[in-house]
Copies of this chain bind each other. A is one copy, B any other.
């Protein structure tokens, strides 16, 4: 089954203890779709400026991602994010954000996508998330992500999105900010009460917690990864998760647990190099091998 993703396509400049990269392909919808396309058909809903390199756009289509919903705004520049990771890999320091074309992005979901059974509202202004959501028909499952900025600055709009989704991904600090609770398990329970049955809290190198109704799953990380750049780990996680879930079609508890493990596997690849590089040359076999090893890590 197919999945549509609404989010950002960006040009990122990133510095980590292992080096730096300038103006490379980034954004929440980019990482998501490049991870999810290993499992299912993906349709992109995003905006870029006239300066967006043609090779980047081509890269999506080469990897089977539909760019019909990728608008090129001729009068503006592409969204840019500049960030740094220091000793704590789990926390990014945003040095600069240039919204550019993102500031008045008016999403137009292509007719083909409107009947897709799965939708991911990646991290972007919750007003945009709501608009995309209203354009979809008969979605079987909608998941969303967000970030501290929207939690603090557009809380009401974000809350309306959260009420309507089946599932949500948040990282540790976002979950704490949203619920004002220190205990992550309690955070997840509180978020369930806001609407979504499925709550997934990503804990960086401590793995992830998944709540599906009363069922609780704690997913380990793939421990053999050498992190070079954690940018996009969370979106790749969501890509592996929802990519696998759309492939299965059914949201059973078993499928949701396996989906979480595929999320962890895809994130483990992304962080091994700068940008989405590692997601581009991945084989099904490599993905499967890490999944099998991760299962072994959790077994007792």
Contacts and interface: CB of A to CB of B under 8 A. Distances in A.
Given A87-B182, A182-B87, A298 B218 contact: yes
A285 interface: no
Contact of A261 (B207, B216, B258, B300): B300
Interface stretch (A21-29, A128-136, A138-146, A219-227): A219-227
Given A185-B224, A217-B299, 19 more contacts: A183-B205, A183-B227, A203-B206, A207-B218, A207-B220, A216-B297, A217-B297, A217-B298, A217-B300, A218-B297, A219-B300, A220-B220, A254-B300, A257-B299, A257-B300, A258-B300, A260-B300, A261-B300, A298-B300
Nearest to A261: B300
Given A205-B184, A258-B300, A261-B300, A218 B221 contact: yes
Contacts of A184: 205
A56 interface: no
Contacts of A297: 216-218
A147 interface: no
Which one of A209, A221, A298 has the highest number of Cβ atoms from chain B below 10 Å of its Cβ?
Answer: A298
Nearest to A184: B205
A183 B224 CA distance: 11
Interface in A183-215: 183-185, 203, 205-207, 209
**What range describes how many residues of A lie at the interface?**
20 to 34
A295 interface: yes
A298 B219 CA distance: 7
Contacts of A209: 223
Closest 7 A/B residue pairs (Cβ): A218-B220, A257-B300, A206-B206, A185-B223, A298-B298, A218-B297, A261-B300
Which one of A206, A254, A295 has the highest number of Cβ atoms from chain B below 10 Å of its Cβ?
Answer: A206
A295 B297 CA distance: 13
A227 B185 CA distance: 12
Nearest to A215: B296
Nearest to A211: B223
A295 B295 CA distance: 13
Which one of A182, A184, A220, A224 has the highest number of Cβ atoms from chain B below 10 Å of its Cβ?
Answer: A220
A217 B97 CA distance: 40
Given A257-B299, A298-B300, A299-B257, A216 B223 contact: yes
Contacts of A257: 299-300
18 contacts: A184-B205, A185-B224, A203-B206, A206-B207, A207-B207, A207-B218, A216-B223, A217-B297, A217-B298, A217-B300, A218-B220, A218-B223, A254-B300, A257-B300, A260-B300, A261-B300, A295-B300, A298-B300
